[in-house]
Amino acid sequence: MSKLRFFVSTLALVWLPNAQAAYSGSLSFVQPTGTVQTTDSIPVWLKLSLDAASEPLVFNSIGGGNPPFGINPANYPTSFSYYNSNTSQSSYINDGVLIAVDSISFSTSIACTGTFLGDSCSLAPYEFNFNDSGPDSILAKQDISLSPGDSLEYLLGTFKPNNGTAPAGNYEFYESGLTMYFYGTVRAPKLDDNGAPVLDGSGNPVLVDFVNAEGSLEIAGTECTSQNIPNCADIFTRTVVAPVPVPAAFWLFGSVMLGFVGCSRRGVVTRLV
C-alpha cells in the first residue's frame, strides 16, 4: 500500500526552528464517583477542556487540505526521535522542522497508579481496555474543532474485573493524558561528534533530512499525577460492593404469590366466559 505524504512547502525552503505548540488544556472525569457491583465493567469518561489562552485545536484525520490534517505548521513540535534502520541506532533531533507530513494522530494514555491497576498494571483487580473505535472514541473522530474555552467528552476506556469478579472495596484511578503524534521527514542541522552544528563555506548550518522521524505534543492531562496525588481532588473512584444474595424464603414466598395470581386470573377468565 502506498503512503500518502503531505509536504509543507513554506517550511521546506528554509531552516527555521518552530515555536513549541501553544495547545494547553485539561482533562477531568465526567462521572468521578459511583457504586458498582463486583462483576460490573466500569466505563471511564473524560472531558477535554481547552484553556482560554490556548490555540484553537482543529484536526482532520483524513489529512487533506492546507495545512495537512488541519494543524498549523507553526504549532508543530521541534524535537523528534529518529531510528536509523541501516545502523539500528536511535537518535534525538532538536531544532528540527517537519517538512513532509506522513501522518498526525492522537494517542490516549493512562498510568499504572491507583488501586484499580496497582503500580505495574499486572496482577491487579482490574484490567483496562482502551476505547479506540466508535463514535465515543476521540481516536476515531474524523474532525475535531475546539476554540479556547470549548470542551469535548469522550470514552477513554473501560475497567473490566480480572477473572470476571473483583474484590469488594474502594478503588481509585487518577492519571491519564492526551498526546498528538507527528510522523514524517524532519530537516535539522547536521552535528559534528561534539554536538556542534556543521557549517558550510558561507557559515550557514548544513541541513540533513531525517525520514520517518517522530515527534509529539502533550495536549492535556488530568490534574492528579503520582507526584501530587495527596494534594489534588480530581480522582475517579468507585465503591465496589458484592451482590446481595436473595434469601431462599423470599423465592418460596414469591412462588406462592405467583400461584395466587394464577388462580385469580383463571377465576376472572371463568367469570368472563
Do 159 and 81 belong to one domain?
A: yes
Do 75 and 56 belong to one domain?
A: yes
46, three cell numbers: 473524560
Q: Does 134 fall in a domain?
A: yes
Domain housing 253 = 248-273
Do 253 and 237 belong to one domain?
A: no
Instruction: Give CA separation, 266 vs 254, 257, 260, 273, in Å.
Output: 19, 14, 10, 11
- In tens, the pLDDT along 2-18 reads 344 344 433 333 334 44
Do 180 and 264 belong to one domain?
A: no
pLDDT of residue 179: 96
pLDDT of residue 264: 36
Q: Does the pLDDT value for residue 201 go beyond 70? A: yes
H/E stretch holding 262 reads helix 248-272
Query: 124-162 burial by CB neighbour count: b if 16+ within 10 A, else e?
Result: bbbebebbeeeeebbbeeeebebeeeeebebbbbebebe
Instruction: Give CA separation, 97 vs 50, 188, 242, in Å.
Output: 26, 6, 56
Residue where the block lists cell 491519564? 176
Q: Does 112 fall in a domain?
A: yes
Do 237 and 254 belong to one domain?
A: no
- In tens, the pLDDT along 153-184 reads 999 999 999 999 999 999 999 999 999 999 99
pLDDT of residue 122: 81
Instruction: Give CA separation, 124 vs 34, 41, 116, 149, 166, in Å.
Output: 20, 14, 7, 37, 9
State the Cα angle at 59 between 55 and 64, rounded to 5°.
130
Q: How many domains does the chain have?
A: 2
Q: Does 55 fall in a domain?
A: yes
Q: What is the dihedral of CA 178, 183, 188, 194, to 10 degrees?
A: 70
- Identify how many contiguous H helices and E strands the chain contains and give both numbers: 2, 15
Q: Does 1 fall in a domain?
A: no
